[in-house]
Amino acid sequence: MRRSTPVQRASQSSGLNLTSCIDVVFLLLVFFLVTASFTSHEGVLASSLPGPGVKSFGDPPPPRVPIEIHVSSVGTSGCRLAIRRHPISPRTFSELSKQLRDMQYNSQAGRRGPFAVDSPVIIQADHHVRWQHVVNAFNAVLRAGYTNVRLGPAAID
């Protein structure tokens, strides 16, 4: 009987066992699939791009006076709302929506305000206001029925 030398024994046992590595990879895959949450997009702002028949050149339409809404911070978590050129400042977002609705012209709903549904509405916020207040103002404008809403530059403190 022939005895193997230490060099021969080392070369025979140098194989790698990949079974445990593959098990760990599959366990990680199952873990990530189980813990992943597939939800709808939150806070997606509605927007639309111009269609193929819309001209991008030519004379622009005459400028319209926008409705400017100012959102400023009060204390650590409060906010103050104001509509430019409007004598009464809304205290809540539902009052903001009601005032904007009253300013709107809509013959079907019997409203005789000076602003059309597609009048530009600009929401301006100071640098210290919470983002939630800006989103609430945006939602109030949409509830009032306006379709041309954008966030403007920050109001001067």
State the pLDDT at residue 42: 57
State the pLDDT at residue 107: 76
90 within 8 A of 142, measured Cβ to Cβ? no
In angstroms, what is the C-alpha Rg of the chain?
31
Helix (H) or strand (E) holding 38: none
Does the pTM exceed 0.75? Answer: no
Distance CA 122, CA 67 (A): 6
36-72 pLDDT tens trace: 876 665 556 666 656 666 655 555 555 578 899 999 9
